[in-house]
Structure 1
Amino acid sequence: MLHLRRSRRRTTLASLAATLLVLPITASAHAAPPATGAARPAAHGAADRVLAAPDISVAAVKAHLAQLQSIATANGGNRAHGRPGYLASVNYVRGHLDAAGFSTTVQSFTYGGATGYNLIADWPGGDANDVLMVGAHLDSVTAGAGINDNGSGSAAILETALAVARTGLVPDRHLRFAWWGAEEQGLRGSTYYVNNLSAAARAQITGHLNFDMVGSPNAGYFVYDGDNSDGTGAGPGPAGSAEIESVIEDYFAGIGVPTRGTDFDGRSDYGPFIARGIPAGGTFTGAEGTKTSAQATLWGGTAGARFDPCYHAACDTTGNINDTALDRNSDAIAYAVWTLAAAPAPGTPVWSDGFETATGWTPNPSTADTATSGAWERGTPGATSSGVATQLTARTGAYDLVTGAAAGSSAGAGDVDGGITSVRSPAIALPSSGTLTLSFAYYLAHLNNASSADYLRVRVVGSTTSTVLTVTGTAANRAASWAVTSADVSAFAGQSVRILVDAADASTASLVEAAIDDVLITQS
């Protein structure tokens, strides 16, 4: 983890020079990648519907840590940027990933007169326009082997990636794992990666999970505060960060371990991602901070002592790991990957609409809409942008449900203006038994002239009305980016229901766009 003395994040690194490097590794047979079949229903946030994550063996994670320690010992005692121990660490991780069937790339950059490396590993399949990244920095400081900081995060995500391969996971989202270089020099590797993506490639990344120091000896259980619910520090992450936080908190709640929020203070590799509006989250067990008496009561350990007494020191070796914290956090990583990557448990489709044909959605069903432009319609949307993407093409196929499909002469030509626009589905007859789940893709985009009065809302209307999604605006640019959500609608079993969608530009004039696609109701 980056030391507080260093600047929080860099959005430009003029000194970096790009090349792509294929590093020498021992040749090994590649495992056959899993077959990619028909599209599967997404279920972000629906932990009760996704395939159960496997238990990650803490012994296997510690075996990787032992190898990283051996690499450091053989290379001057560290695995730091520009030192041979770092390159050997990259080769070690890459060898395991190549053998497991990942597609790996090593991206090189220059900082401080030395060459650094990012290792990127893509798992075959999943929606290329909905990429979930899982990252950890692989470098240490020059003082020591960096086994907790950050061999722990690197080894835990490596073993999670290998579990993806062993189980043949076929996720709805595309999975990409990353091991960042030169984090200890100021988030150099991750910043280089993000800054050198094209706008289109950046827009494809819809979430970044960051794991930096997950085995601290005097551990705390911190989760990045995606919704700023603790009300302090750097504020919330980009839209979607709260979902990541919630999923991770759900895991720890399920094993009876309390968590506390930790701020997005820019000290780790989520920094360049949230700076570009990409949702982020992850876990952290503490660095040089001191555990309070209240925290010791909450989690055990020693009050008045540092979470990691060997932070950035020579004693950060394999003896500097809390096995229980490492085990819990490794399992939390797998849980987050399996849940957020939306590998759904089997379910029987009840009703679906990808909007490729007209199925009878009714605009302005109550004749009370006030919007003067940007009314909901089923259409082929034209992509628009104004500094950030404001309207996207359909998530799948050619059509979606969108506020003003035409691109128009400018980004603001067909956006929602003047109030509320609504649209309602045809009647949907739900079965009377089983668990019924509604899922759909959506986005709300706006510029920094928006406010909390602007929103996208989705409700299910039957004998009662249930709001299943509300996204409100803020006075900041929010790029259009497809997300997927789901909700249990079993309370409506046996009823005829309709889905009611509305969006609003309800305050001062602002650029607001919204869309819905791939609506699905399943029974399980």
Structure 2
Amino acid sequence: MKLRLLTAVAALVLTAPLAPAAPALAAPGVLPGAVPAHAPYAVPAALPVTSAALAAPDVPLANVKAHLTQLQSIATANGGNRAHGRPGYLASANYVKGLLDAAGFTTQLQSFTYNSATGYNVIADWPGGDSNDILMVGAHLDSVTAGPGINDNGSGSAAILETALLVARQGLQPTKHLRFAWWGAEEGGLRGSQYYVNNLPAADRSRIKGYLNFDMVASPNAGYFIYDGDNSDGVGSGPGPSGSAQLEQVLQEYFTSIGVPTRGTDFDGRSDYGPFISVGIPAGGTFTGAEGTKSSAQASLWGGTAGQAFDSCYHRSCDTTANINDTALDRNADAVAYAVWTIATAVPPVTVWSDTFETATGWTTNPSGTDTATTGLWERGDPEATDSSGAKQLGTTVSGSNDLVTGRLAGASAGDYDVDGGVTSVRSPAITLPTGTLRLSLSWYLAHGSNSSSADYFRVSVVGATTSTVLQQPGAATDRDAAWATATADISSFAGQTVRILIEAADASTASLVEAGVDDVKITR
């Protein structure tokens, strides 16, 4: 892990927090079981994981420690370190590459130049999986010049190396494509990982749907930290790119399963996730602490000694194989394998039904013949933008040219074609649902002026043998500008039924301005 005085890399894209368990009826503005997300909605195809993932193996601690012994021997034979530009680093890279070559990985030593010396990244791809859906797992392999760097970061390097070798031993056939990386010159400022990301064509970057980073996972006075993908701790540089919260959740699931409490650690730019999050690639990982001091509260939580550093040998010559906490190393190595198996073998959701509104598919306005609105009736079309103290009807859609909108024209003023006089509704064609776990997702907005009230609303219901309201957003006496949001709901209770989706918007306040839109409705299994 590099020194704190290096410039941090800030996360660029916000991600929504995870929602609590769903009530029987949605709270206002929230779908049951939903994760509301602010536009742009960009959760990668690799996430979320599903229950179809294969169970992860136990990573043998003895094997991980054997790799550390080899890295220690390499350092001892090469001036006491494995630093960038020194012979100990290249020997370390060749050790890792040799094992991966023999195991059946496709590997390369990617060279780069930093500080007038040649550095190397080891990149290893496991054959198979969707090449457009890549899960990448990385750790930096170099040490500082002062010592052999066995905790920092032989520990992360050995943990992901043994996980990769387990992939080969089990002949894993993941749904995602698996790529492992050991970075050079991290201690000089993330030089190897930055070189890798900078030299990826944009199309190749877009194929990496998640990056997991493991840097210092066996600190002797260990803490158990997970990169805070959704900024649930509410401090520091904020959340990672959309999808980081799901990576955090997977790692959290593992530690919860073994009864080990964790705390969030910030994306502060000190390790190799930095270049990935800077280009919007979701990231996550674990960390057991560096030069920071363990607090009394942390000692009560995890044991160890309060008032002492998590790793008192951080960046020192004493960072040897004697500087390893076996329990922390064992737990974190298993966490690496759990994340890899859970994410990489998960079966992506299958689309049961979808509508982007680019063509007419049989939606019916006023299906019950009870609508009362006189203008702003739901229609499919290319919307025109309106503005009244801010955007009220969006002229841009989530995809394509058309959406469902309450009166697509702008008119001479913002209120010409908004919802007036009561309720307008539109209903989907009949949708026959299969059995299994089903989720409904849609992009939507509700906008209104400050003359609105809770009598106004936007509502989505699923109508089958019963009717369930899955989203209800009431108005309020405040200005609400239009902005696309995306939400999902569990509709598994309708499995095996033929259902319709009913969407309503209402102007039931006096002289209020109400606009609403819907796009990209989808049901997945």
CA–CA distance in structure 2, aligned partners of residues 195 and 297 of structure 1: 43
CA–CA distance in structure 2, aligned partners of residues 374 and 131 of structure 1: 36
Partner of 2:497: 495
Partner of 1:243: 246
Alignment of 1:1-40 (within 5 A): 1-9=1-9
2:322 is paired with a residue of what secondary structure? Answer: coil
1:373 maps onto 2:382 in alignment = yes
Which of 55, 68, 71 is 2:71 aligned to? 68
Partner of 1:132: 135
CA–CA distance in structure 1, aligned partners of residues 308 and 101 of structure 2: 41
Measured after TM superposition, the shift of residue 245 of structure 1 is 0.9
Measured after TM superposition, the shift of residue 341 of structure 1 is 1.8
CA–CA distance in structure 2, aligned partners of residues 440 and 166 of structure 1: 39
Question: Which runs of no fewer than 5 residues in structure 2 stay unpaired?
Answer: 12-44, 367-375, 385-395, 404-416, 420-424, 445-458, 472-483, 505-512
Cα distance 1:145–1:170, how it changes in 2: closer, same or farther (>3 A)? same
Q: For residues 395-418 of structure 1, what are the alpha-carbon distances to aligned partners after superposition, in whole Å with 9 as ceiling and x for unaligned?
A: xxxxxx944389xxxxxxxxxxx9
Number of residue equivalences: 416
Alignment of 1:188-267 (within 5 A): 188-267=191-270
CA–CA distance in structure 2, aligned partners of residues 100 and 464 of structure 1: 52
CA–CA distance in structure 2, aligned partners of residues 256 and 338 of structure 1: 20
Measured after TM superposition, the shift of residue 6 of structure 1 is 2.2
Partner of 1:159: 162
- 1:61 maps to a residue whose letter is V
Partner of 1:386: none
Measured after TM superposition, the shift of residue 101 of structure 1 is 1.4
Q: For residues 372-392 of structure 1, what are the alpha-carbon distances to aligned partners after superposition, in whole Å with 9 as ceiling and x for unaligned?
A: 6379xxxxxxxxxxxxxx99x
Partner of 1:313: 316
Which of 465, 468, 473 is 1:464 aligned to? 468
* Contact kept? 2:430, 2:498, Cα under 8 Å: no
Cα distance 1:242–1:293, how it changes in 2: closer, same or farther (>3 A)? same
Measured after TM superposition, the shift of residue 60 of structure 1 is 1.1
1:148 maps onto 2:157 in alignment = no
* Contact kept? 2:286, 2:332, Cα under 8 Å: yes
Partner of 2:346: 343
Q: For residues 13-64 of structure 1, what are the alpha-carbon distances to aligned partners after superposition, in whole Å with 9 as ceiling and x for unaligned?
A: xxxxxxxxxxxxxxxxxxxxxxxxxxxxx87334533111111111111111
1:308 is paired with a residue of what secondary structure? Answer: coil
Measured after TM superposition, the shift of residue 204 of structure 1 is 1.3
* Contact kept? 1:365, 1:423, Cα under 8 Å: yes
CA–CA distance in structure 2, aligned partners of residues 442 and 206 of structure 1: 21
CA–CA distance in structure 2, aligned partners of residues 493 and 300 of structure 1: 47
Measured after TM superposition, the shift of residue 7 of structure 1 is 2.5
Cα distance 1:221–1:427, how it changes in 2: closer, same or farther (>3 A)? same
1:223 is paired with a residue of what secondary structure? Answer: strand
- 2:66 maps to a residue whose letter is A
TM-score, length-scaled by structure 2: 0.70
2:168 is paired with a residue of what secondary structure? Answer: helix
* Contact kept? 1:223, 1:261, Cα under 8 Å: yes
Cα distance 1:92–1:281, how it changes in 2: closer, same or farther (>3 A)? same
2:438 is paired with a residue of what secondary structure? Answer: strand
Measured after TM superposition, the shift of residue 514 of structure 1 is 7.6
CA–CA distance in structure 2, aligned partners of residues 164 and 179 of structure 1: 16
CA–CA distance in structure 1, aligned partners of residues 344 and 503 of structure 2: 25
Q: For residues 173-193 of structure 1, what are the alpha-carbon distances to aligned partners after superposition, in whole Å with 9 as ceiling and x for unaligned?
A: 211111111000000011111
Measured after TM superposition, the shift of residue 250 of structure 1 is 1.2
Measured after TM superposition, the shift of residue 329 of structure 1 is 0.9
Question: Which runs of no fewer than 5 residues in structure 1 stay unpaired?
Answer: 12-41, 376-389, 392-400, 407-417, 445-456, 468-477
1:215 is paired with a residue of what secondary structure? Answer: coil
CA–CA distance in structure 2, aligned partners of residues 209 and 460 of structure 1: 38
TM-score, length-scaled by structure 1: 0.70
* Contact kept? 1:134, 1:208, Cα under 8 Å: yes
Compute the RMSD of aligned alpha carbons. Answer: 4.1
Identity of aligned residues (%): 63
Cα distance 1:515–1:179, how it changes in 2: closer, same or farther (>3 A)? farther
2:337 is paired with a residue of what secondary structure? Answer: helix
Measured after TM superposition, the shift of residue 364 of structure 1 is 7.7
Q: For residues 60-89 of structure 1, what are the alpha-carbon distances to aligned partners after superposition, in whole Å with 9 as ceiling and x for unaligned?
A: 111111111111111111110001111111
| Greater RCO, 1 or 2 (C-alpha within 8 Å, sep 6+) | 2
Partner of 2:56: 53
Cα distance 1:422–1:76, how it changes in 2: closer, same or farther (>3 A)? farther
Q: Please say which structure displays the higher CA radius of gyration.
A: 2
Alignment of 1:346-365 (within 5 A): 352=352, 361-362=361-362
Cα distance 1:104–1:304, how it changes in 2: closer, same or farther (>3 A)? same
Q: For residues 415-441 of structure 1, what are the alpha-carbon distances to aligned partners after superposition, in whole Å with 9 as ceiling and x for unaligned?
A: xxx99999957412444xxxx223799
CA–CA distance in structure 2, aligned partners of residues 318 and 87 of structure 1: 20
CA–CA distance in structure 1, aligned partners of residues 79 and 71 of structure 2: 13
CA–CA distance in structure 2, aligned partners of residues 102 and 192 of structure 1: 22
Partner of 1:404: 401
Partner of 2:437: 437
